[in-house]
Amino acid sequence: MGMKIGELSRATGTNVETIRYYERIGLLPAPSRTAGNYRDYSQTHLDRLNFVRHARGLGFDIADIRSLLNLAEQPDRDCGEADKIASGHLKSVEAKISRLEQLRSELKHMITQCRGGQVSECRIMEALGDHDHCSTAHVPNGILS
Amino acid sequence: MGMKIGELSRATGTNVETIRYYERIGLLPAPSRTAGNYRDYSQTHLDRLNFVRHARGLGFDIADIRSLLNLAEQPDRDCGEADKIASGHLKSVEAKISRLEQLRSELKHMITQCRGGQVSECRIMEALGDHDHCSTAHVPNGILS
DNA sequence: TATGGTCCCTGTAGCAACTACAGGGTCAAG
DNA sequence: CTTGACCCTGTAGTTGCTACAGGGACCATA
């Protein structure tokens, strides 16, 4: 009746393996199966997967998406929760941007300092080796990811 | 004679487990051992680990750092290679920044659209559910990471 | 000498969010 | 009846760490 996993994959631009992964972690409900044990998806699944892909495209992590999906299933609740999740994510995006801008300027500086020549006099290598020069040491893990 | 792993850890701001991890993947050479089988680090190890931490702080991945370390050991070579690695990294940082800026503006837009009320009329949820609205679909995997 | 506390050792498993097989089954076309 | 495209399960790999478990080493004190 519905669509097979390959069709859902094409319809949403999602890798087949990723769809099965989402099912395994409980992000998508397990669909019914055909006689030959193929997954048989409905419009509901399509909508939900599109929701997930949009949210992932906006960089929400899967925990956030779970919360957003729960909210979507309770249309009468206040949407403050959704706002909170989105605002929190926006903040983390902004933090990443400013961190990356800092990296960009340090890298640019390093690169313009390098005027060619031998490794032994390369400013890039010097900057990396110098113990006291780099402002990027001791950055909490994972802020870049 | 030298320093134990905990001292190296404190001296470089690197987790002990991380130091052992770097040894395991061959990024740091295995140090000699004391009679009690403790790792015994020298100044050379300290320098190398500082180099690695600086480069990681600048967002270089471990493959790049391996290359940079190889270069550092051949001081008479041309430093064009180092320049290439750094420039390539700068480009990827810039790509991430522009991607994140795009996300930021989409998120901001979404959030300002939401005027509170119920989930059923929340613009955030609408935007995520809407099939044709989101410009962030089909982004190559991992460009955000 | 016993005891405690702090360090250190190896080895393995976990995280996020997938991706990539291996080794097999299903189904429609020719 | 075979070919090829698709589908299935299950497991392992990716990156850069982090977090144990279960045990040794070393030093100070009682």
pLDDT digits (tens, 9 = 90+) for B69-123: 999 888 888 888 899 999 999 999 999 999 999 999 999 998 988 776 776 778 7
CA distance A34 to A21: 20
Of B59, B48, B103, B114, the closest CA to residue B85 belongs to B59
Lowest model confidence (mean pLDDT) among A19-23, A96-100, A140-144, B61-65: A140-144
pLDDT for residue A95 is more than 70: yes
Tell me the pLDDT band of A134, cut-offs 50, 70 and 90: very low
Q: Say how many C-beta atoms besides its own lie within 10 A of residue B74's C-beta.
A: 12
Which residues in chain A touch residue B96, judged by CB atoms under 8 angstroms apart? 96, 100
- Residue pair B82/B71 in contact (Cβ under 8 Å)? The answer is yes
State which H helix or E strand residue B81 sits in: helix B80-113
- Residue pair A87/A93 in contact (Cβ under 8 Å)? The answer is no
Of B41, B20, B43, B46, the closest CA to residue B31 belongs to B41
Interatomic separation, CA of residue B101 and C1' of nucleotide C8, rounded (Å): 46
Tell me the pLDDT band of A131, cut-offs 50, 70 and 90: low
The one-letter amino acid code at A34 reads T
Bridge partner list, B3: B41
Establish if A129 touches chain B: CB-CB under 8 angstroms: yes
Instruction: Answer yes or no: is A10 CB < 7 A from strand D.
Output: no
Q: Min CA distance, A102 vs chain B (Å)?
A: 9
pLDDT: which is higher, B31 or B136: B31
Of B56, B133, B42, the closest CA to residue B89 belongs to B56
Of B47, B38, B34, B35, the closest CA to residue B16 belongs to B38
The predicted structure's pLDDT at residue B138: 43
CA distance A83 to B110: 9
Contact at CB, B139 and A57, closer than 8 angstroms: yes
CA angle at residue B137 from B133 to B143, to 5 degrees? 145
CA distance A11 to A8: 5
Nearest CB neighbour to A100, from listed B79, B96, B116: B96
Supply the mean pLDDT for chain A: 87
Nearest CB neighbour to A57, from listed B82, B108, B134: B134
pLDDT for residue B128 is more than 90: no
- Residue pair A5/A22 in contact (Cβ under 8 Å)? The answer is no
The predicted structure's pLDDT at residue A133: 47
Which residues in chain B touch residue A77, judged by CB atoms under 8 angstroms apart? 118-119
Nucleotides of C under 7 A from a protein CB: 7-11, 16-21, 25-27
Establish if B49 touches chain A: CB-CB under 8 angstroms: no
Q: Say how many C-beta atoms besides its own lie within 10 A of residue B45's C-beta.
A: 22
pLDDT for residue B137 is more than 50: no
In the three-class reduction of DSSP (H, G, I as helix; E, B as strand; rest coil), residue B105 is classed as helix
CA distance A31 to A12: 16
The predicted structure's pLDDT at residue B78: 82
Long-range contacts of B88-95 (CB under 8 A, 24+ apart): B88/B64, B89/A107, B89/B58, B89/B59, B89/B60, B89/B64, B90/A104, B90/A107, B90/A108, B90/A111, B93/A100, B93/A103, B93/A104, B93/A107, B93/B59, B94/A104, B95/B143
Which residues in chain B touch residue A19, judged by CB atoms under 8 angstroms apart? none
Q: Min CA distance, B93 vs chain A (Å)?
A: 7
pLDDT: which is higher, A63 or A125: A63
